[in-house]
Amino acid sequence: MRRVFRLFQLREVIWIVGPAVLIVLVAFWFAAQFVAPAPPKDITIAAATQGSPYYEAARRYREVLAESGVTLNILETKGSMENLALITDPRAHVAAAFLQGGLTNGRETPDVLSIGRVFYEPVWVFYQGEAKLERFTDLVGKRVLIGPAGSATATLATRLLTASGVTADTSTLITMELPDYVAALESGKADAGVLVLAPEARTVRRLLASPTVRLMDLVQADAYAQRFPFLQKLVLKEGVVDFAKDLPRTDTRMLATTAALVIDRDLHPALVNLLTQAAITVHGQPMVDARGETPIFQRAGAFPSADDQEFPLSPDASHVYKTGAPFLQRYLPFWIATWLDRLSVLLLPMIGILLPAVRIVPALYAWRIRRRIVYWYHELKKVEAEIGTHSDSGELVGTLRHIDRIEEAVNRLIIPVHFANQLYDLRGHIHVVRRRVMALRSTASKSTHRARVRPPVVLPVPTGTVTDQRN
């Protein structure tokens, strides 16, 4: 009997828990479709040549990411133009890159998102001669160096000069490597040159120190910054480059673009968060160069900047700027926090299904048990309804047999102990109906017996009608 009861319990568990488990599995599968895969353990960033600001920033990113167990591979390139080609080429497998402002925008490269702007890249305009030049339009008819062919410097210089009417038709535009700028200007092979370099660059320092080369004080700097949103006006204060030599010798208005740290749109969100945190750590305080000097235009808190006029900001990066590192990453190692974050995507729908299931399954189990008892109550009720239609003793005998079959089936029911009271109530009610039927049968039997055993009929003899034969 105990074995039979265990088999009964097992069957009930299968019938009741089975559908709930199936629903949970379906929900698990559905939620799994929205779970991002685990982030890769290494990514590649396109920088520039060793010693450049891009490369130095990437090197510091690598140190920050290494603390979280992520390897950052630094790819040396020729600069922003090559970086742009790599970040937009899916076959290159480059996850992040540095781009000079003014090269492209989010409409032209929809698969590129920004993590923010990370430092200034001043636009230097040097010229040779005694005549003072204050506008780009002053370069009409002159020989102008615009940087290496196909470089980011050449692209930006051409854009600014063209807007000022300085084109290949009105001037001589010369493409040349940046280190050769000094010799070309000092020797008179060029009248002016446009550079996009950090103030600490060797070429900039040599040109500032040259007795025959002057830095243009751009009087229309505000207008250019208003016309081109990726540009900003900067003022290079007198003597800030070299106090001893008083370089520059006057306050000089300049333009500057800002370097953008961009990523592939498909980069894993956890790595976007981590890379944004690295940018905040590295650029939150000005980077100190090899000489122990801080960049002239960098100020604490100015970078990284979420204000990007060219590329849409990554939503994950925006979240880091607003609220800081994700909650779990503040207290747990990166990989554990990432695993728990992915797991939560599965757990939330599971909780939403399991909590109702915890309440529904016991109720469903109780319903199934009560259903068995209620079924025989229904059968008993039909028997009771039929009693009033039977007047013959033979019919009531059939009713008693029906009640016996009900009782036999009820006795075979396997009911858990905490439902035993309902089972005993059913048995008691079976006996009540049986007694009622037996009472009706007894009454019907007596009526039948009285109908069969009748007294003899005595006919009355009429008087005066009998003739005595003896007379």
Domains in the chain (CATH in brackets) are 42-325 (3.40.190.10), 355-450 (no CATH)
Question: Residue 27 carries which side chain, given as an amino acid letter?
Answer: A
For residue 392, the model assigns a pLDDT of 67
Confidence class of residue 32 from pLDDT cuts 50, 70 and 90? low
For residue 397, the model assigns a pLDDT of 80
Confidence class of residue 441 from pLDDT cuts 50, 70 and 90? confident
CB 95 within 8 A of CB 44: yes
Buried b (16+ CB within 10 A) or exposed e, 35-62: eeeebeeebbbbbbeeebbbbbbbebbb
Spatial neighbors of 166 by CB under 8 A, at least 6 apart, are 136, 137, 139, 140, 144, 173
Confidence class of residue 12 from pLDDT cuts 50, 70 and 90? low
pLDDT digits (tens, 9 = 90+) for 106-141: 999 999 999 999 999 999 999 998 899 999 999 999
DSSP state of 37: P
Q: Where would I find the beta strands (DSSP E) of 22-111? A: 42-46, 71-75, 96-99
DSSP state of 47: -
Confidence class of residue 354 from pLDDT cuts 50, 70 and 90? low
For residue 363, the model assigns a pLDDT of 77
State both tokens at 88. Answer: 């937009």
CA distances from 194 to 216, 275, 468 (A): 10, 32, 174
Helix (H) or strand (E) holding 352: helix 334-387
State both tokens at 284. Answer: 């939150």
Question: Phi, psi (5° rounding) for residue 300?
Answer: -60, 130
Spatial neighbors of 118 by CB under 8 A, at least 6 apart, are 57, 98, 258, 259, 260, 261, 279, 282, 283, 303, 304, 305
CB 265 within 8 A of CB 317: no
Question: Residue 365 carries which side chain, given as an amino acid letter?
Answer: Y
Rounded distance, CA 420 to CA 423, Å? 5
Confidence class of residue 289 from pLDDT cuts 50, 70 and 90? low
How many CB atoms sit inside 10 A of residue 246's CB? 12
Query: Is pLDDT at 467 greater than 50 in this prediction?
Result: no
**CA nearest to 255, candidates 307, 195, 205:** 195
Spatial neighbors of 214 by CB under 8 A, at least 6 apart, are 126, 127, 128, 129, 132, 133
**CA nearest to 56, candidates 76, 29, 80:** 76
* Lowest-confidence segment of 162-176, 249-263, 331-345, 367-381 by average pLDDT: 331-345
pLDDT digits (tens, 9 = 90+) for 446-463: 665 555 555 555 555 555
Long-range pairs for 10-19: beta carbons < 8 A, 24 or more residues apart: 12/365, 12/368, 15/368, 16/361, 16/364, 16/365, 16/368, 17/361
pTM here is 0.70
